Amino acid sequence: MLELTRQEKQVIVFLMASALLGVGIIAYKNLRSQPNIEITSGRQIEKEIKDSKIININTAPEDELIKLRGIGPALAKTIVEYRIKHGAFRTKEELKNIKGIGQSKYENIKDNIKIE
């Protein structure tokens, strides 16, 4: 078949050994590397979940406002129109000035809204 000299055979063996050694080193490094794991407390996770559900009523568009419990498309539109007419809400309670948002509805959403 192939007639290789002794020196050519040695070069081929050397190259194969070098390749295998390189693959072995890469595999070893991958096995030894530690994943970057960040440990988070349960309280921190709860806070992040709660914060992600809080909607800024001064900046939220209608499609975000309807995520609030008891706020449908019509009421969301009314909130945006109120903002345009009267400016930003100065307090959360000012939301009760909108027809359709009484004390009960306000109580249901007050923990999920912010004004800043």
**17-33: average pLDDT:** 87
Of the two residues 52 and 78, the one the predictor is more confident about is 78
pLDDT of 60 above 80: yes
| Least trusted range by pLDDT, from 25-34, 61-70, 81-90, 92-101 | 25-34
- In the predicted model, is pLDDT for residue 44 greater than 80? no
Q: Do 83 and 55 meet the contact criterion of CB atoms below 8 Å apart?
A: no
Q: 55-114: which CATH number, 3.90.1530.10, 1.10.150.310, 1.10.1510.10, 3.30.70.260?
A: 1.10.150.310
pTM comes to: 0.57
Q: Where are the domains of the chain?
A: 1-30, 55-114
Q: What is the pLDDT of residue 50?
A: 60
Least confident of 50-54, 71-75, 83-87: 50-54
Tell me: pLDDT of 26 over 70: yes
Mean pLDDT to the nearest integer, 19-32: 87
pLDDT at 73 over 90: yes
Taking alpha carbons only, the member of 99, 102, 55 closest to residue 77 is 99
What does the mean pLDDT of the chain come to?
88
